[in-house]
Amino acid sequence: MFSLQWSEEFAVGVESIDREHRALFDLFNDLHRGILRGETQSLTAEKLVRLVQYTREHFADEERLMAESGYPKLEEHRASHRSLTVQVEAMMADLERSQAVMNLPALKFLNEWVTQHILKEDRAYIPWMREIAGAQEKISIVAAGD
């Protein structure tokens, strides 16, 4: 119902980021399968925690690459990451307080956020990264010619 299927449409062209995005899809799909199988709240919570921890690591990696490349919209992108983190932490706290299992509306929210964030916000930095990569390639070619 809400599983994520990787396709080139989600590729941003930065190998390390695309690899992390695929891993996020895998972690999300593992959580999704667990919910559909009716796994216990504690097992589902473990999978959600794993997904959230990996997402934080991914955000840090992505922001580091953006900072290193001088991406001009880094702060906007960082704010988007913070917003998601706050929303997911609130969702996790609600689940923990109510002792409820992860539910389909929460799963749908995560699915839509991941896909829309990649398709809109992450893909927005592609031209910048390509321009930087092209400039670095030209520098390498010129340096090699010396």
Condensed to tens digits (0 to 9), the pLDDT of residues 82-141 reads 998 898 888 878 777 776 666 778 888 889 888 988 988 888 888 887 787 665 544 444
Residue labelled with tokens 């396709």: 7
pLDDT at residue 145 greater than cutoff 60: no
Cα–Cα distance measured from residue 102 to residue 99, given in angstroms and rounded to the nearest whole number:
10
pLDDT at position 100 is: 63
Residues 6+ apart with CB under 8 A from 87: 109, 113
Q: Where are the domains of the chain?
A: 13-145
Is residue 10 a contact partner of residue 21, using CB atoms and an 8 Å limit? Answer: yes
Residues 56-91 have pLDDT tens digits of: 999 999 999 889 888 999 999 999 999 988 988 888
pLDDT at position 144 is: 45
Residues 35-47 have pLDDT tens digits of: 888 888 788 888 8
Cα–Cα distance measured from residue 4 to residue 10, given in angstroms and rounded to the nearest whole number:
11
Sign of CA dihedral 22, 26, 31, 37: positive
Tell me the pTM: 0.83
Left, alpha or beta for 13 (phi > 0: left; psi -120 to 50: alpha)? left
Cβ of 49: how many Cβ atoms within 10 Å?
A: 11
CATH architecture of 13-145: Up-down Bundle (1.20)
Residues 6+ apart with CB under 8 A from 129: 12, 13, 14, 65, 69, 71
Token representation of residue 121: 């916000």
pLDDT at position 143 is: 41
